Structure 1
Amino acid sequence: KKLPEKTKKIIFVKFAAVGDIVLLIPTLNLFKKKFPDAEIDFLCTNINSGIIKTIPFLDNVIVCKVYDFIKNPFYFLNFVKMLRKKQYDLLIDAEQWARIDAIISFFIKKKFSIGFKTKKQFRHYNYSVSVDHSRYNHESENFLNLLKPLGIVAQESDKIPEFYLTDDDIEFAEKYWEEKGLKNQKIICFQPGCGTGSFAREWKEENYAALGRKILEYDPGIRFFVMGTENDFEKCQKIVYGIGKNSENLAGKFSMGKDLAIIRKTELLVCSNTGILHMAAAIGIKTIGLHGPNNPKQWGAYSEKAEVILSDIFCSPCLYLGHEYGCITPVCMPRIKVEDVYLKVREILDKG
């Protein structure tokens, strides 16, 4: 197929996950810059719809309830029927591995399509043009390569991720600081959770608690916000109890945007490789990313303010497709020592 002469209607497809969307935003920005008058739709799931809906220049966000396909086959048929009412000039499938995106993309009416060719996934036959996915590129750069068939080559300045905080979220954080009397307070954020099925990437609660106590020995005035979703509340509470003082459990209390607005006003964030790491980096916060199964060269926070601590075990990192962990019982994250993270925190705080 040939590229359409005019690109007026486009649909991006990506069913997961939050961190991926942060790293995809530079691609969306660059596309919009090159095609300012194009109508851009985004097909996603409830996993990542929250962050996608914050992107201001998208015209339509279409949420696919994938699990409902299993419960009710008629939902699938009706969903496909709804998608086929539109004729797109271009479809870009930004999913790297999962095949469900490719299956849904097959049914969408489009003149031209672009997607990844990932080794042993056999999903690239669905597209007019496929782009090689490389485990040796940063994922943000892999996403930008999807635009090369359109003659769009990213410059270094195009690669920086963004996160779109609303005025309401920023105002909320300002009021929160005022009500809590946090002016001139040094605050460090911890986020222990990595989402469903990603426990192998998590650093244990007792490690965060020990890190907090050690930081308090260095500076008794420092405070801690322990962040996460509602599902993380109990593990966050263990950390708060373990630190003993100057710490607050904010897990599940606020929206994602409000959490980010709060993090934006703190000194730094310590967490594993998860969506919040990329969002915090995108709003310019100093981060310490703890990496075991994930390769920071591919999945690290894309920021000059990002610090990396990588497990020292020989088999780390092991992930490429995101699920092929090299062991049943995770051994890489426990190898990350509290002392090493503490020294990195000290280094950041001392630099100011």
Structure 2
Amino acid sequence: MVDYRPPKGIGEEKMLFIRYSALGDIVRAIPYVATIKETFPSLHITWLLTHPYEDLMKGQPFVDDVIVWYRGLGCKGFLNIISKIRKSSFTHLVSLQGTDRSAVIALLSGIENRAGRHDWASFVYNLPREDLQEILGRTIKIDKYRRYYKVNQKLKSLTDALLKNLNRPRIACVIGASKKVKRWPVSNWVGFITMITSFGGSAILLGHGRNEEALAQTIEDSLQEKHNHKILNLVSKLRLNEMAALIDGCDYVVGGDTGPMHLALALQKPAIGLFGPTLPEQVGLSDIRFKLIVDCPLKGCQKWGCNRRCLSSVRPERVFEIIKGDCVW
């Protein structure tokens, strides 16, 4: 295998960046890619993403193109992306995915300079590490306190239109999570939203998928009628870039260990994280402004079948008091 050669920032160099899922991991990779682009502005960067995550990268200045992997197509979808990659004349590949599939993609890519990591198949990379300084061949540092993600004016206008009739403070409520045990119970959401709307504020329900649609409907049905006009249910109604813009237009974000909370962190929004089965440091949310962690001897256990439902112990009053004490409205 030939030695890895860092990009030079001249000529027609093209990089394939691989971090195709999940939402939180993709968002956490944004500063990494943006730093590469700022270091080598002429380097053409293509990001490989599974559908529908491509929406998140539309119009971002650090990405020149995307390759979309439609995993629902099975083997056909996988072969399609391999074909596109091999035809694209990439000079460099950088993978932060670390999975078997990403290793196979690197192996079949035909790209000469490949950087990445895998537990047992690092041999597919001629730089078997993810260190950005080694990848770029120069001293570089990612600014962890900088906002890299951009919300364009069109999306800001959409957000303004959606929120114009809602009083502040506007609270983005990320009601779902990939595992049931990581979700705040409906009764807690209902209690919290009742407090916020009684305080004069508004709640925006965010999420995606049938389970979260049903969850949002249950929350709405459980609220007294006098509070219903102060909430906006946008579950499954927004593309990811629209959700990012909506979060950016809200005053606070509340949710558990789930992808949109990473968006809130990337957008530097005041957020209140609810943690039990996972802890902030386990999932890349250590820098979230407010962290409420359950008082459970098994906190951080990551046991998805646990029947303790520990997040129910995070009372709505605690979340409300944080917002009441912090906001200026």
Q: TM-score, normalization: structure 1?
A: 0.80
The answer to whether the 8 Å contact 1:30/1:158 transfers is: no
1:282, 1:203 → 2: CA distance? 22
For residues 279-333 of structure 1, the C-alpha deviation after alignment (integer angstroms, 9 at most, x for no partner) is: 1222232110112232312424465x621112222222134xxxxx364436433
Equivalent of 1:234, from 197, 203, 214? 214
Q: Give the total of aligned pairs.
A: 319
Once the two structures are aligned, what percentage of the paired residues are identical? 22
Equivalent of 2:124, from 113, 126, 136? 126
The equivalent of 1:163 in structure 2 is 149
Identify which range, 235-244 or 163-172, moves more after superposition.
235-244
Q: Do residues 185 (structure 1) and 168 (structure 2) align?
A: yes
1:6, 1:281 → 2: CA distance? 30
Equivalent of 1:334, from 306, 312, 322? 312
For residues 29-88 of structure 1, the C-alpha deviation after alignment (integer angstroms, 9 at most, x for no partner) is: 111111111111111211422213342332221112234234x5xx54454233222332
The equivalent of 2:249 in structure 1 is 265
Equivalent of 1:24, from 13, 25, 29? 29
| Structure 1 position 102, deviation (Å) | 1.3
Identify which range, 106-115 or 49-58, moves more after superposition.
49-58
2:145, 2:133 → 1: CA distance? 13
The answer to whether the 8 Å contact 1:226/1:250 transfers is: yes
Amino acid at match of 2:60: I
Amino acid at match of 2:203: F
Q: 1:54 to 1:278 in 2, by over 3 A?
A: farther
2:140, 2:291 → 1: CA distance? 25
| Structure 1 position 146, deviation (Å) | 4.1
SS for the counterpart of 1:113 is strand
Amino acid at match of 1:165: V
Q: Do residues 255 (structure 1) and 239 (structure 2) align?
A: yes
Q: Do residues 289 (structure 1) and 273 (structure 2) align?
A: yes
Q: 1:335 to 1:153 in 2, by over 3 A?
A: farther
Unaligned runs of 5+ in 2: none
The answer to whether the 8 Å contact 2:168/2:202 transfers is: yes
Amino acid at match of 1:311: V
2:244, 2:257 → 1: CA distance? 16
The answer to whether the 8 Å contact 2:168/2:251 transfers is: no
The equivalent of 2:261 in structure 1 is 277
Unaligned runs of 5+ in 1: 132-142, 320-324
SS for the counterpart of 1:344 is helix
Q: 1:152 to 1:346 in 2, by over 3 A?
A: farther
SS for the counterpart of 1:185 is coil
The equivalent of 2:115 in structure 1 is 114
| Structure 1 position 16, deviation (Å) | 0.3
Amino acid at match of 1:11: L
The answer to whether the 8 Å contact 1:21/1:52 transfers is: no
1:326, 1:227 → 2: CA distance? 22
SS for the counterpart of 2:67 is strand
SS for the counterpart of 2:195 is helix
The equivalent of 1:315 in structure 2 is 298
The equivalent of 1:138 in structure 2 is none
Q: Tell me which stretches of 4 or more aligned residues in structure 1 moved more than 6 Å.
A: none
1:199, 1:94 → 2: CA distance? 27
2:5, 2:188 → 1: CA distance? 54
Equivalent of 1:64, from 61, 65, 69? 69
1:77, 1:188 → 2: CA distance? 43
Equivalent of 2:45, from 20, 31, 40? 40
SS for the counterpart of 2:249 is coil
